A and B are shown apart, each in its own frame.
Chain A
Amino acid sequence: MTRIIVVTSGKGGVGKTTVSANLGMALAKINRQVALIDADFGLRNLDLLLGLENRIVYTAVEVLAKECRLEQALVKDKRQPSLVLLPAAQNRNKDAVSPEQMKSLVSSLAPKYQYVFIDSPAGIELGFKNAIAPAQEALIVTTPEISSVRDADRVVGLLEAEGIKKMHLIINRIRPVMVKANDMMSVQDVQELLAIPLIGVIPDDERVIVSTNRGEPLVLAENPSLAGIAFENIARRLEGETVEFLDLDVPGDNILAKLRKLLWTKIV
């Protein structure tokens, strides 16, 4: 049974594409067949994060226009052969596809893969509707900022209305020191508001920027960073494993430790 998961957030710049690239790669590393679909037509980025830009020949738009076969458009990853990318067209905009076309695209892709991730564009307009149309479940990415959480809340409401009930929350770019100083929303604050199960907390990490610019997902690094480990843990949780949440604690403090304990009790 293929899991078709949309990665979405509402607000832009919170890390949807980074999450898609790293989760896809982490799952491919444990030998799952993974397809990543870039649904951000006109503003595609996923290929850059994966370092696959120069291998793109055809895009989803050409597949839909029947100018090529689906297999021709799929870009196999250079490091993990079980990962493929279906790139979006860069020279078109969101009107280039409809929700029905996305559904047919995903349904023809699904049988060969265990995971299909759809990287949604920001916003709640047609691009977003295209991205969520084929999805069975959703990963909501948010940063611990009030604007990002508010937008995520809106998106959760829209997904619920579309009948996508299986949703998990990823809190990205958390800075434990700032949370401790009460300068940043805590994991608990965000979770309390959005009221969907948490699947991962990713610490803010400069190496994310480096990895983006190099086209090398964090999870491929020799000595993985905390953020990289967080992504791997999310992948394992998607697989159904129970993985303890990372110790993002700053030394000499146990407020977070208490908080995490509180959180563990709520997580399946």
Chain B
Amino acid sequence: MDAHAATPDKSSDSALELAESLPHEANVEVNASPASSDAIEVGTSSDSLSVDIESNSALTNLSGNELGLPEHRINNNFSIQLKTEAGRFLLILPTESQVPAAEFNWSEFCQQLKQRLSARERWLKPQTMLHLISADRLLDTRQFQELSQALNNFQIQLKSVTTWRRQTAIAAVTSGYSVEQQPQELSLSSAPQTAIAPLADALYLETTVRSGVDIRHPGTVVILGDINPGGTVVADGDILVWGRLRGIAHAGAAGNPQCVIMALQMEPTQLRIADAIARAPEKSLVQFFPEVAHTTPQGICITRASGFSRSQLSKIEQ
């Protein structure tokens, strides 16, 4: 993460820019933001012991537009979803409009699935039936075989497949799964991305987010465990870390600056809320408290959780 990658002529201007004057873009190109993070420490790396609310903040706000981010913004928070709906355990693949076929990497998907399953292993009951919703995604028999192998490790059985594609349906039937083939209709998930989608249900994971793991979710994320350096969590809602936050956390990734990041121990590589980016002070702290990161007109601030009361929350919302 090169914090000084952007061109120098822009860094001086953007650092002085206030959050309020920035256009709040709906979808931040998340992958591009690291390059744009010419974050300059404007806050003071003051002693965290002070009772002052804004104890250790070091931040600057940057607008995507100013840094020449591409115009077409993709919300790439789409990843696989595991959820229970009407008593059915569902695995929902991102549709092709969410993740283009060319960018859909099957082995990475399998990896992601295994990580998500192991992060909720404590609640998985053996011999659970899983229903796959592959929508408009093309899957072949080899992929179904790999999928069922991955699921078998967690004693989960693939039961049925819901698809719009004929080929996927044939592959599923060949592999012995029941198929619900639906004609492609304009459902919520296939609606154009400009439609305002409600925030997804919170994602609760019991795991250590290790280096290289990338958790993306179009809702709030709760991590029971640490986020290690090199690990990333990107959420459209809030991020709660019941553990140490040492990696990158991006809350309100769809552009909501009211989102917050909470951690028992806040030592992030970088914090991002909506389109604001902050990086931790160079000096590491000696003592840690549960802390909350939120945006203010001056950028991202970190507040001790004990001082971050309801009244504080309502103040932000105004």
| Chain B, Cβ-Cβ closest to A129 | B107
Number of A-B pairs whose CB atoms are under 8 Å? 39
B81 on the interface (CB 8 Å rule)? no
A162 on the interface (CB 8 Å rule)? yes
A151→B115 contact, CB < 8 A: no
One digit per residue, 1 when the CB lies within 8 angstroms of any chain B CB and 0 when it does not, for chain A 143-175 equals 000000011011011101111000000000000
B290 on the interface (CB 8 Å rule)? no
A161→B114 contact, CB < 8 A: yes
B115→A157 contact, CB < 8 A: yes
B212→A154 contact, CB < 8 A: yes
A268 on the interface (CB 8 Å rule)? no
**In the bound complex, how far is the Cα of B115 from the Cα of A153, in angstroms?**
14
B74 on the interface (CB 8 Å rule)? no
**In the bound complex, how far is the Cα of B246 from the Cα of A156, in angstroms?**
17
Task: Tell me how far the C-beta of A62 lies from the nearest C-beta in chain B, rounded to whole angstroms.
Answer: 28
Please provide the chain B residues from 110 to 146 with a CB less than 8 Å away from any CB of chain A in the complex.
111, 114-115, 118
B230→A161 contact, CB < 8 A: no
* Residues of chain B at interface, number, CB under 8 A: 15
Greatest chain B CB density within 10 A among A151, A153, A157, A160 is at: A157
- Spell out A's residues near B (CB within 8 Å): 150-151, 153-154, 156-158, 160-163, 193, 195
Contact sample, A vs B, 24 pairs, CB 8 Å cutoff: A150-B229, A150-B230, A151-B211, A153-B210, A153-B212, A153-B228, A153-B229, A153-B230, A154-B211, A156-B210, A157-B210, A157-B211, A157-B213, A158-B212, A160-B115, A161-B111, A161-B114, A161-B115, A161-B118, A162-B114, A163-B118, A163-B153, A193-B246, A195-B226
Beyond A153-B212, A157-B208, A163-B153, 9 extra complex contacts between A and B, CB < 8 Å: A150-B230, A151-B211, A153-B229, A154-B210, A154-B211, A157-B211, A160-B115, A193-B228, A195-B226
Give the 4 A-B residue pairs with the shortest CB-CB distance, closest first.
A157-B210, A161-B114, A154-B212, A153-B211
